[in-house]
Amino acid sequence: MEETIAIPTPGRRPWRRHLNKLRWLVLTLVFAMLLLLPMISLYQTYVAAHGYDLLSPAQQRFYDFMEMLTSPFTSDPEKGLDAIKGTTWSGRFFGLQLSDPLAVLGQIAAGFTLYWPFVLSALIPVAATLLLGRIYCGWICPATFLYELNSNVAALLRRAGLNFGRKRLDRRFKYLVLFLGLVLSAVFGSVWVALIYPPAIIGRELYYAIALNGFGVGAVFFVLTLLFDILVARRGFCRYLCPGGALYSLLGRYRLLRIRRDVRNCNDCVKCNAICEFGLNPMRDDFGQECNNCSACIAACPTDALSFGIAIRDLPNQGDGHLGPRYRRQRAAGKEAS
Amino acid sequence: MSSEMNRRRFVAAALKTAATVLLASGLPAAKTLARGVIRYRMRFLRPPGALKESDFVARCIRCGRCAEVCPNRCIRYFDLENGLEATGTPYIIPREQACILCMKCGQACPTGAIQPLQHQLEDVLAGVKMGHARVEKQLCLSYQGQTCGVCYRACPLQGIAMRVGRLEQPHVLDGCVGCGLCERSCIQMPQAIRIIPAHG
């Protein structure tokens, strides 16, 4: 049977190429909310105190700014700004309680008890991860926002000739971190996974910095992880150490939404492998449970060979891309022979 | 091959034994060690309705939502100053900013580390025990002959938590829940009334 080689027609690129931009929009919005929520909280306490005249000039300027920002939406900031509270670690989103599955797991490990209202608040995130994989890591996590920017910094440094951060460690190391975090939480009866999980740290520390009295020890830890990513391994914390990433990977192992390669359109250009923050191998169909469906490879693919599909497993290695030089050479050789 | 098998079996057995020992005897020992060294370095209160200390630390996920809703800005978070175990957990220093018993933190708490209570007298009396006020008579103005009574005026549970005698001398009653408004309001320096924390 003669195979048809689909040549992508210029000017008719599929819309999925823009998903990565949408993802960046979502990441930016989540991060902006984490900045805005402590400010709203602070503003609400000022309103509740009914003491505008007692505020310092800087606080009054802040009050005026927040009033300007929120007055189009509500005339009663004390009650009207309660729609979203908390962080991505645990929060209330329009009446819906949502928590990170790692928070629930850590708490169960620390106290050996189930508090059902809390356990149920992780139901939607768990269901979403079972179906869609590690989308939290790629699309929501406030640490991802900073880590990906940090990756760009590392790329700039590399371009300037400072060539470090090329190490590859064992991806399975993060499952050990998750396991040890839970064991230590159980031994000391204290939710220690919360102290080493970057999104939880960021939510907390931003709140401390904006509404309380400055950054705490978590910020130091986070800066260390940024340095680790630059100096040791690209995106190293997420790839090799994050306990939440480990949990999401396990939950998303048999996800339905997967990125797949159309071997007929692939030209073996390796752009997908280069862009992949998790060091995966999309060009040879190797995604596995680590893939967070971030769609960066889809956006990078010049021939639109990558797309989202619904399946419970990845395709096995399909071999050379049909637009690639090696496949074409072999094909030409085969035709000559026959 | 058999020596390899033997070694493997030995390693497995050793790991199993180590785990058993850790769980059976090491666990309580490690807990005591960690807690004995790091707890109660400072006098602090937990938010109103908090569980007793060991349960509280096991339940609290360090989400920061209690302070976010606190209208009085009295809830702060531990950094490392009170030990790794308490890092990120909420506390109140009543002399700096005391609790007004609005009970919003308990309703915001997703994990029940702070029990959800209503802003009602019965709920507060039944569910809140942050501490107990104690008067230092040598420091108290009223006990030194100068009528003061500021702590009584600040008390949200007058007649239940505190009554005043001659010269407005404060007497703390059993109903005191330890909100700390008396300590916050005391005009003496250092304060003549302070909360003795009750987190067990």
Residues of A in contact with B200 (CB under 8 A): none
Q: What is the dihedral of CA B116, B118, B124, B125, to 10 degrees?
A: -100
Assess whether A58 and A151 both reside in one domain.
no
CA distance A201 to A15: 35
Is residue A77 less than 8 Å (CB to CB) from chain B? no
Q: Is residue A332 part of a domain?
A: no
Q: Give backbone dihedrals phi and psi of A257, rounded to 5 degrees, phi first.
A: -85, 120
The count of domains in chain A is 3
Residues of chain A in contact with residue B87, where contact means CB-CB under 8 angstroms, are 195, 217
B24 touches chain A (CB under 8 A): no
Neighbours of B160 (CB within 10 A): 16
**pLDDT of residue B61 exceeding 90:** yes
Residue A13 pLDDT class (50, 70, 90 cuts): confident
Residue A1 pLDDT: 43
CATH number of the domain where residue A265 is located? 3.30.70
Q: Tell me which of A301 and A2 has the higher pLDDT.
A: A301
Task: Please tell me whether residues A223 and A123 are part of one structural domain.
Answer: yes
Domain boundary among A207, A228, A254: A254
In this prediction, residues A263-271 reach a mean pLDDT of 92
Instruction: Give CA–CA dist A320/A284, Å, rounded.
Output: 8
d(CA A163, CA A173): 24
Collect all residues of chain A within an 8 Å Cβ-Cβ radius of residue B88. Answer: 194-195, 204, 216, 218
Which residue of chain B has the CA closest to A90? B63
A219 plus A112 within the same structural domain? yes
Q: Kindly indicate the confidence band of residue A8, based on its pLDDT and cuts at 50, 70 and 90.
A: low
The verdict on A140 and A225 lying in the same domain is: yes
Shared domain check, A117 and A184: yes
Looking from the CA of A203 toward its CB, the CA atoms found within 13 Å total 28
Pick among B111, B114, B119 to test the A interface (most A CBs inside 10 A): B111
For chain A, say whether B62 makes contact (Cβ under 8 Å): yes
- pLDDT number for residue A165: 79
Higher pLDDT, B97 or B27: B97
| 8 Å CB contact of B65 and A189 | no
> Could you give the CA distance from residue A211 to residue B98 in angstroms, rounded to a whole number?
17
Q: Report if residue A320 sits inside a domain.
A: yes
pLDDT at site B8: 76
Domain that holds residue A121: 87-254
The 10 Å Cβ neighbour count of residue A170 is 10
- A84 membership: H or E segment, kind and range: strand A84-86
3-state helix, strand, coil in chain A (%, to 5): 60, 5, 35
Q: Do B63 and A200 touch (CB under 8 A)?
A: yes
Q: Are residues A43 and A131 in the same domain?
A: no
Residue A191 shares a structural domain with residue A266: no
Residue A33, domain member (yes or no):
yes
The reported pLDDT for the residue numbered A2 is 47
Which residue of chain A has the CA closest to B115?
A: A115
How far apart are the CA of B33 and the nearest CA of chain A, in angstroms? 10
Size of interface A-B (CB pairs under 8 A): 124
| Predicted model pTM | 0.86
Q: What is the mean pLDDT of chain A?
A: 91
User: Is A99 in CB contact (< 8 Å) with chain B?
Assistant: yes
Q: Which of A107, A190, A217 sits opposite B85 (nearest CB)?
A: A190
Per-residue model confidence as pLDDT tens digits over B98-128: 999 999 999 999 999 999 999 999 999 999 9
- Quick one: A56 exposed, middle or buried, by C-beta within 10 A (0-12, 13-18, 19+)? exposed
Amino acid letter for position A180: L
A241 shares a domain with A96: yes
The verdict on A36 and A138 lying in the same domain is no
Is A314 part of a structural domain of the chain?
yes
**B2-26 pLDDT, tens per residue?**
666 677 787 788 778 777 776 766 6
The Cα-based distances of A2 to A5, A210, A277 in angstroms read: 10, 64, 37
In a domain, A333, yes or no: no
A224 is a domain residue:
yes
Q: How many CB atoms lie within 10 A of CB A164?
A: 13
Contact (CB<8Å) B80/A111: no
B-contacting residues of A 173-192, CB under 8 Å?
Answer: 187-192
Band (pLDDT 50/70/90 cuts) for residue B31 is: low
- Judge: B88–A207 Cβ closer than 8 Å, yes or no: no
Asked if residue A2 is part of any domain, the answer here is: no
* pLDDT surpasses 80 at A7: no
- B146, with CB counted inside 10 A (0-12, 13-18, 19+), is exposed
Query: Of A29-33, A151-155, B151-155, which range is least confident?
Result: A151-155
Are A312 and A243 contained in the same domain? no
Distance CA A300, CA A43 (A): 43
Within-domain flag for A330:
no
CA atoms within 13 A on the CB side of A274: 9
| B30 pLDDT tier (thresholds 50, 70, 90) | low
| C-alpha–C-alpha distance, residues B127 and B51, integer Å | 9
Looking at this protein, which amino acid is placed at residue B87?
T
CB–CB of B80 and A217 under 8 A?
A: yes
Cis bond before residue B90 (omega within 30° of 0): no
Q: Is the dihedral of CA A85, B106, B63, A116 positive or negative?
A: negative
Rounded Cα–Cα distance for residues B130 and B121 (Å): 15
DSSP state of A194: G
The pLDDT value recorded for residue A167 is: 86
pLDDT reading at B129 higher than 90: yes
Q: How many CA atoms lie within 13 A of A243 on its CB side?
A: 26
- Residue A9 has a pLDDT of 59
pLDDT in tens, A216-233: 899 999 999 999 999 999
Judged by CB atoms closer than 8 Å, whether chains meet at A187 and B79 is answered as: no
Distance from CA of A217 to the nearest CA of B (A): 6
Give contacts of A110 with chain B, Cβ < 8 Å.
57-59
Q: What is the pLDDT of residues A274-318, one digit of tens each?
A: 999 999 999 999 998 999 999 999 999 999 999 999 998 889 998
Report DSSP letters for A88-125, one per residue.
SSEEEETTEEEE-HHHHHHHHHHHS---HHHHHTTHHH
A117 contacts in B (CB within 8 Å)? 110, 112
Nearest CB to B59 within list A38, A49, A111: A111
Single residue among A210, A227, A254 that ends a domain in this structure: A254
Across the range A116-128, mean pLDDT stands at 95
Q: Which residues of chain B have a CB within 8 Å of the CB of A207? A: 64, 67-68
Is A107 near chain B, with CB under 8 Å?
Answer: yes
Whether residues A149 and A210 share a domain: the answer is yes
Q: Which of A41, A49, A190 sits opposite B57 (nearest CB)?
A: A190
Using the structure block, give the residue that is written with the tokens 């609290």: B60
Give the residue from A254, A284, A308 where a domain finishes.
A254
Residue A99 CB-density burial (10 A; 0-12 exposed, 13-18 middle, 19+ buried): buried
Q: A319 near A266, Cβ under 8 Å?
A: no
Note whether A96 and A204 are same-domain residues.
Answer: yes
pLDDT at A242: 95
Separation between Cα atoms, residue B137 and residue A69, nearest integer Å: 51
**Partners of residue A243 on adjacent β-strands:** none
Q: Residue A86: which H helix or E strand, with range?
A: strand A84-86
For B22-129, strand residue ranges (E) read: 76-77, 90-91
